[in-house]
Amino acid sequence: MKIIVTGGAGFIGSHIVDACLRAGHDIEIIDNLSTGSSENIPRDVTVHRIDIRDVLAVAEIFKTFQPDAVCHQAAQLSVSRSVREPLLDADINCLGLLSVLDAAVATDCKRMVFASSGGVLYGDVTEPALETAPANPLSPYGITKWAGEKYLNFFAREHGLTSVALRYSNVFGPRQNPHGEAGVVAIFCKQFLNGHAAHINGDGKYVRDYVYGPDVAAANLAAIELSKASFASEKVVSLNIGTGIGTDVNELEEKLRTHIGLLRECAGERKILPGPEHGPERVGDLRSNLLDASLASNVLGWKPTHSLDEGLEATSHWFFEKK
Protein backbone atom coordinates (compact mmCIF):
# COMPACT_ATOMS: atom_id res chain seq x y z
CA MET A 1 0.00 0.00 0.00
CA LYS A 2 0.96 3.63 -0.50
CA ILE A 3 0.64 5.46 2.82
CA ILE A 4 1.09 9.08 3.88
CA VAL A 5 2.02 9.57 7.54
CA THR A 6 1.51 13.11 8.80
CA GLY A 7 3.77 13.89 11.72
CA GLY A 8 5.95 11.01 10.55
CA ALA A 9 9.14 12.59 11.91
CA GLY A 10 7.68 12.76 15.39
CA PHE A 11 7.73 10.35 18.28
CA ILE A 12 4.74 8.12 17.49
CA GLY A 13 4.70 8.88 13.77
CA SER A 14 8.27 7.71 13.22
CA HIS A 15 7.54 4.38 14.94
CA ILE A 16 4.53 4.01 12.62
CA VAL A 17 6.74 4.70 9.61
CA ASP A 18 9.15 1.99 10.78
CA ALA A 19 6.31 -0.50 11.26
CA CYS A 20 4.86 0.24 7.81
CA LEU A 21 8.24 -0.09 6.11
CA ARG A 22 8.85 -3.45 7.79
CA ALA A 23 5.46 -4.57 6.45
CA GLY A 24 6.55 -3.65 2.90
CA HIS A 25 4.47 -0.50 2.39
CA ASP A 26 5.48 2.58 0.39
CA ILE A 27 5.64 5.63 2.68
CA GLU A 28 5.77 9.40 2.33
CA ILE A 29 5.83 11.81 5.29
CA ILE A 30 4.30 15.25 5.83
CA ASP A 31 5.93 17.02 8.77
CA ASN A 32 6.97 20.62 9.41
CA LEU A 33 9.59 19.39 11.92
CA SER A 34 8.34 21.81 14.57
CA THR A 35 8.53 19.04 17.16
CA GLY A 36 9.70 16.06 15.08
CA SER A 37 13.29 15.36 14.07
CA SER A 38 14.94 14.46 10.78
CA GLU A 39 17.00 11.96 12.81
CA ASN A 40 13.85 9.84 13.17
CA ILE A 41 13.34 9.48 9.41
CA PRO A 42 14.84 6.63 7.34
CA ARG A 43 17.05 7.96 4.55
CA ASP A 44 15.05 6.43 1.70
CA VAL A 45 11.68 7.93 2.77
CA THR A 46 10.40 11.10 1.09
CA VAL A 47 9.64 13.89 3.55
CA HIS A 48 7.55 16.95 2.67
CA ARG A 49 8.47 19.68 5.13
CA ILE A 50 5.21 21.58 5.20
CA ASP A 51 2.49 22.50 7.67
CA ILE A 52 -0.70 20.45 7.47
CA ARG A 53 -2.66 23.73 7.44
CA ASP A 54 -1.15 24.55 4.03
CA VAL A 55 -4.18 23.30 2.11
CA LEU A 56 -2.76 23.70 -1.41
CA ALA A 57 0.56 22.03 -0.57
CA VAL A 58 -1.14 19.10 1.16
CA ALA A 59 -3.52 18.67 -1.78
CA GLU A 60 -0.62 18.62 -4.26
CA ILE A 61 1.26 15.97 -2.27
CA PHE A 62 -1.82 13.72 -2.21
CA LYS A 63 -2.45 14.33 -5.91
CA THR A 64 1.09 13.34 -6.84
CA PHE A 65 1.49 10.35 -4.51
CA GLN A 66 -2.09 8.98 -4.75
CA PRO A 67 -2.06 7.23 -1.35
CA ASP A 68 -4.24 4.26 -0.45
CA ALA A 69 -4.24 5.33 3.20
CA VAL A 70 -3.28 8.25 5.42
CA CYS A 71 -2.19 7.96 9.03
CA HIS A 72 -2.77 11.33 10.66
CA GLN A 73 -0.47 11.90 13.64
CA ALA A 74 0.42 15.59 13.18
CA ALA A 75 -1.10 17.66 15.99
CA GLN A 76 -0.66 20.16 18.78
CA LEU A 77 -0.17 17.71 21.63
CA SER A 78 0.10 19.69 24.84
CA VAL A 79 -2.98 19.85 27.07
CA SER A 80 -1.58 22.77 29.06
CA ARG A 81 -0.73 24.71 25.90
CA SER A 82 -4.25 24.12 24.60
CA VAL A 83 -5.57 25.75 27.78
CA ARG A 84 -3.33 28.79 27.24
CA GLU A 85 -3.75 28.96 23.45
CA PRO A 86 -7.08 27.36 22.44
CA LEU A 87 -7.14 29.20 19.09
CA LEU A 88 -3.80 27.72 18.05
CA ASP A 89 -4.87 24.30 19.29
CA ALA A 90 -8.05 24.37 17.19
CA ASP A 91 -6.21 25.79 14.19
CA ILE A 92 -3.76 22.88 14.07
CA ASN A 93 -5.95 20.05 15.31
CA CYS A 94 -9.20 20.90 13.50
CA LEU A 95 -8.27 22.93 10.42
CA GLY A 96 -5.14 20.81 9.89
CA LEU A 97 -7.24 17.65 10.02
CA LEU A 98 -9.76 19.10 7.54
CA SER A 99 -6.92 19.94 5.15
CA VAL A 100 -5.80 16.30 5.22
CA LEU A 101 -9.36 14.93 4.93
CA ASP A 102 -10.13 17.14 1.93
CA ALA A 103 -6.98 15.98 0.17
CA ALA A 104 -7.77 12.35 0.97
CA VAL A 105 -11.27 12.36 -0.52
CA ALA A 106 -10.10 14.38 -3.54
CA THR A 107 -7.67 11.59 -4.44
CA ASP A 108 -9.99 8.68 -3.56
CA CYS A 109 -7.86 7.62 -0.59
CA LYS A 110 -9.50 4.55 0.95
CA ARG A 111 -8.50 4.72 4.62
CA MET A 112 -7.89 7.34 7.31
CA VAL A 113 -6.30 6.41 10.64
CA PHE A 114 -6.63 9.25 13.15
CA ALA A 115 -4.66 9.78 16.35
CA SER A 116 -7.36 10.54 18.88
CA SER A 117 -7.03 10.44 22.67
CA GLY A 118 -8.87 8.36 25.21
CA GLY A 119 -6.70 10.08 27.77
CA VAL A 120 -8.67 13.30 27.32
CA LEU A 121 -12.02 12.23 25.85
CA TYR A 122 -13.41 10.38 28.85
CA GLY A 123 -12.43 12.78 31.62
CA ASP A 124 -11.75 11.41 35.10
CA VAL A 125 -12.37 7.64 35.31
CA THR A 126 -11.22 5.28 38.05
CA GLU A 127 -11.99 2.09 36.09
CA PRO A 128 -10.82 1.36 32.52
CA ALA A 129 -13.20 3.23 30.21
CA LEU A 130 -14.93 1.56 27.28
CA GLU A 131 -15.51 3.29 23.95
CA THR A 132 -19.19 3.56 24.88
CA ALA A 133 -18.40 5.75 27.90
CA PRO A 134 -19.76 9.29 27.48
CA ALA A 135 -17.26 11.77 26.10
CA ASN A 136 -16.33 14.43 28.63
CA PRO A 137 -13.33 16.36 27.30
CA LEU A 138 -12.26 19.02 29.80
CA SER A 139 -9.46 20.72 27.86
CA PRO A 140 -9.40 22.44 24.45
CA TYR A 141 -7.07 19.66 23.29
CA GLY A 142 -9.64 17.03 24.23
CA ILE A 143 -12.39 19.03 22.55
CA THR A 144 -10.44 19.13 19.26
CA LYS A 145 -9.91 15.37 19.36
CA TRP A 146 -13.62 14.80 19.94
CA ALA A 147 -14.41 17.21 17.09
CA GLY A 148 -11.92 15.32 14.92
CA GLU A 149 -13.85 12.09 15.37
CA LYS A 150 -17.07 13.89 14.43
CA TYR A 151 -15.39 15.13 11.24
CA LEU A 152 -14.44 11.53 10.44
CA ASN A 153 -18.13 10.59 10.73
CA PHE A 154 -19.09 13.44 8.42
CA PHE A 155 -16.54 12.46 5.77
CA ALA A 156 -17.67 8.83 6.04
CA ARG A 157 -21.31 9.79 5.41
CA GLU A 158 -20.61 12.29 2.65
CA HIS A 159 -17.67 10.66 0.88
CA GLY A 160 -17.53 7.02 2.01
CA LEU A 161 -14.08 7.38 3.61
CA THR A 162 -13.51 4.50 6.03
CA SER A 163 -11.70 5.67 9.15
CA VAL A 164 -10.27 4.30 12.37
CA ALA A 165 -9.91 6.67 15.33
CA LEU A 166 -7.35 5.31 17.79
CA ARG A 167 -7.91 6.74 21.24
CA TYR A 168 -4.46 6.62 22.80
CA SER A 169 -3.77 6.48 26.49
CA ASN A 170 -0.44 8.01 27.67
CA VAL A 171 2.13 6.96 25.09
CA PHE A 172 5.83 6.84 25.96
CA GLY A 173 9.03 5.45 24.51
CA PRO A 174 12.21 6.17 22.54
CA ARG A 175 12.22 9.36 20.42
CA GLN A 176 9.73 11.16 22.64
CA ASN A 177 10.48 14.87 22.88
CA PRO A 178 11.71 15.77 26.39
CA HIS A 179 11.65 19.52 25.75
CA GLY A 180 7.91 20.04 25.36
CA GLU A 181 5.11 20.06 27.92
CA ALA A 182 3.70 16.64 27.05
CA GLY A 183 5.38 13.33 27.77
CA VAL A 184 6.25 12.92 31.43
CA VAL A 185 8.48 9.87 30.85
CA ALA A 186 10.74 11.72 28.41
CA ILE A 187 10.82 14.81 30.63
CA PHE A 188 11.80 12.76 33.69
CA CYS A 189 14.49 10.92 31.71
CA LYS A 190 16.05 14.19 30.64
CA GLN A 191 15.96 15.61 34.17
CA PHE A 192 17.57 12.48 35.63
CA LEU A 193 20.29 12.31 32.97
CA ASN A 194 21.18 15.91 33.83
CA GLY A 195 21.49 14.86 37.47
CA HIS A 196 18.42 16.82 38.50
CA ALA A 197 15.35 15.91 40.51
CA ALA A 198 12.14 15.14 38.68
CA HIS A 199 9.60 17.96 38.86
CA ILE A 200 6.13 16.66 39.70
CA ASN A 201 3.01 18.79 39.36
CA GLY A 202 0.85 18.64 42.47
CA ASP A 203 0.86 15.62 44.79
CA GLY A 204 1.87 13.13 42.08
CA LYS A 205 -1.16 10.95 42.67
CA TYR A 206 -2.43 11.40 39.11
CA VAL A 207 -3.12 7.93 37.70
CA ARG A 208 -2.47 7.22 34.04
CA ASP A 209 -2.47 4.27 31.63
CA TYR A 210 1.01 4.17 30.04
CA VAL A 211 1.41 2.36 26.70
CA TYR A 212 4.68 1.82 24.82
CA GLY A 213 5.22 3.69 21.54
CA PRO A 214 6.12 0.71 19.31
CA ASP A 215 2.98 -1.07 20.56
CA VAL A 216 0.93 1.96 19.48
CA ALA A 217 2.65 1.83 16.08
CA ALA A 218 1.55 -1.80 15.74
CA ALA A 219 -2.05 -0.74 16.41
CA ASN A 220 -1.82 1.90 13.68
CA LEU A 221 -0.46 -0.62 11.18
CA ALA A 222 -3.30 -3.03 12.02
CA ALA A 223 -5.81 -0.19 11.52
CA ILE A 224 -4.30 0.73 8.16
CA GLU A 225 -4.49 -2.88 6.98
CA LEU A 226 -7.96 -3.57 8.44
CA SER A 227 -10.27 -5.00 5.79
CA LYS A 228 -13.17 -2.88 4.60
CA ALA A 229 -15.51 -5.72 5.54
CA SER A 230 -14.68 -5.08 9.20
CA PHE A 231 -16.50 -1.73 9.15
CA ALA A 232 -20.14 -1.25 10.02
CA SER A 233 -22.44 0.86 7.85
CA GLU A 234 -21.17 4.13 9.39
CA LYS A 235 -17.63 3.33 8.14
CA VAL A 236 -15.89 4.71 11.27
CA VAL A 237 -14.47 2.66 14.13
CA SER A 238 -13.21 4.23 17.37
CA LEU A 239 -10.87 2.08 19.45
CA ASN A 240 -9.09 2.54 22.76
CA ILE A 241 -5.34 1.90 22.67
CA GLY A 242 -3.98 1.31 26.17
CA THR A 243 -3.21 -1.31 28.79
CA GLY A 244 -5.97 -0.82 31.34
CA ILE A 245 -3.31 -0.65 34.07
CA GLY A 246 -3.00 2.51 36.17
CA THR A 247 0.26 3.97 37.49
CA ASP A 248 0.51 7.20 39.42
CA VAL A 249 3.21 9.76 38.70
CA ASN A 250 5.01 9.14 41.99
CA GLU A 251 5.40 5.45 41.17
CA LEU A 252 6.47 6.26 37.63
CA GLU A 253 9.13 8.67 38.90
CA GLU A 254 10.52 6.06 41.27
CA LYS A 255 10.71 3.40 38.53
CA LEU A 256 12.48 5.74 36.13
CA ARG A 257 14.85 7.06 38.79
CA THR A 258 15.86 3.45 39.50
CA HIS A 259 16.43 2.62 35.81
CA ILE A 260 18.42 5.79 35.09
CA GLY A 261 20.32 5.48 38.37
CA LEU A 262 21.53 2.00 37.44
CA LEU A 263 22.64 3.21 34.00
CA ARG A 264 24.51 6.13 35.56
CA GLU A 265 26.14 3.81 38.09
CA CYS A 266 27.28 1.41 35.34
CA ALA A 267 28.82 4.39 33.54
CA GLY A 268 30.80 5.28 36.65
CA GLU A 269 28.64 8.16 37.86
CA ARG A 270 28.47 7.97 41.65
CA LYS A 271 26.13 10.83 42.44
CA ILE A 272 22.80 9.56 43.76
CA LEU A 273 19.81 11.07 42.01
CA PRO A 274 17.72 13.30 44.29
CA GLY A 275 14.09 12.58 45.06
CA PRO A 276 11.28 14.46 43.33
CA GLU A 277 10.37 18.09 43.73
CA HIS A 278 6.66 18.91 43.87
CA GLY A 279 5.20 22.06 42.37
CA PRO A 280 1.68 23.42 41.88
CA GLU A 281 -0.98 21.43 40.10
CA ARG A 282 -1.25 21.96 36.36
CA VAL A 283 -4.47 23.36 34.90
CA GLY A 284 -6.41 20.80 32.84
CA ASP A 285 -4.84 17.65 34.33
CA LEU A 286 -7.14 14.74 35.19
CA ARG A 287 -6.82 12.81 38.44
CA SER A 288 -7.32 9.36 36.91
CA ASN A 289 -7.66 7.96 33.41
CA LEU A 290 -7.54 4.33 32.23
CA LEU A 291 -8.63 2.65 29.00
CA ASP A 292 -10.19 -0.72 28.27
CA ALA A 293 -8.69 -1.87 24.95
CA SER A 294 -10.60 -5.14 24.59
CA LEU A 295 -12.43 -3.85 21.49
CA ALA A 296 -9.11 -3.14 19.77
CA SER A 297 -8.15 -6.73 20.55
CA ASN A 298 -11.35 -7.98 18.93
CA VAL A 299 -11.29 -5.70 15.87
CA LEU A 300 -7.57 -5.36 15.16
CA GLY A 301 -6.18 -8.43 16.88
CA TRP A 302 -4.01 -5.99 18.83
CA LYS A 303 -2.68 -6.18 22.36
CA PRO A 304 0.28 -4.37 23.94
CA THR A 305 3.29 -6.68 24.01
CA HIS A 306 5.51 -4.67 26.37
CA SER A 307 4.97 -4.24 30.11
CA LEU A 308 5.48 -0.84 31.70
CA ASP A 309 8.82 -1.91 33.19
CA GLU A 310 10.05 -3.30 29.87
CA GLY A 311 9.09 -0.10 28.10
CA LEU A 312 10.66 2.13 30.76
CA GLU A 313 13.90 0.13 30.63
CA ALA A 314 14.11 0.40 26.83
CA THR A 315 13.24 4.10 26.94
CA SER A 316 15.82 4.78 29.66
CA HIS A 317 18.52 3.05 27.60
CA TRP A 318 17.60 5.08 24.51
CA PHE A 319 17.80 8.40 26.32
CA PHE A 320 21.02 7.36 28.08
CA GLU A 321 22.67 6.52 24.75
CA LYS A 322 21.48 9.81 23.23
CA LYS A 323 22.64 12.10 26.04
The domains of the chain are located at 2-172+211-243+291-305
Q: What is the mean pLDDT of residues 23-43?
A: 96
Calculate what percentage of the chain has a pLDDT beyond 90. Answer: 82
What is the model's pLDDT at position 119? 73
What is the model's pLDDT at position 288? 92
Task: Report the CATH superfamily, name and number, of domain 2-172+211-243+291-305.
Answer: NAD(P)-binding Rossmann-like Domain (3.40.50.720)
Where does the pLDDT of residue 58 fall: very low under 50, low under 70, confident under 90, or very high at 90 and above? very high
Per residue in 115-157, pLDDT tens?
Answer: 999 977 888 898 999 999 999 888 899 999 999 999 999 999 9
Beta pairing partners, 4: 28, 70
pLDDT above 80 (res 181): no
Rounded to whole angstroms, the Cα distance separating 293 from 13 reads: 20
pLDDT above 90 (res 259): yes
What is the model's pLDDT at position 74? 98
Query: What residues have CB less than 8 Å from 152, skipping those under 6 apart?
Result: 101, 112, 114, 161, 163, 165, 236
What is the model's pLDDT at position 220? 99
Per residue in 205-247, pLDDT tens?
Answer: 999 999 999 999 999 999 999 998 888 777 899 999 999 999 9
Evaluate the CA torsion angle 129, 162, 19, 323 in order and state its sign. negative
Q: Which of 109-113, 132-136, 296-300 has the lowest mean pLDDT?
A: 132-136
Catalytic site positions? 141
* Cα 77 to Cα 7, 36, 74, distances in angstroms: 11, 12, 9
User: 283 or 68: which carries more pLDDT confidence?
Assistant: 68
pLDDT above 70 (res 113): yes
* Cα 162 to Cα 49, 86, 233, 258, distances in angstroms: 27, 29, 10, 45
Q: What is the mean pLDDT of residues 170-186?
A: 88
Where does the pLDDT of residue 284 fall: very low under 50, low under 70, confident under 90, or very high at 90 and above? low
pLDDT above 80 (res 179): no
What is the model's pLDDT at position 267? 84
pLDDT above 70 (res 180): no
Q: What is the pTM of this model?
A: 0.95
- CB neighbours of residue 293 within 10 Å: 27
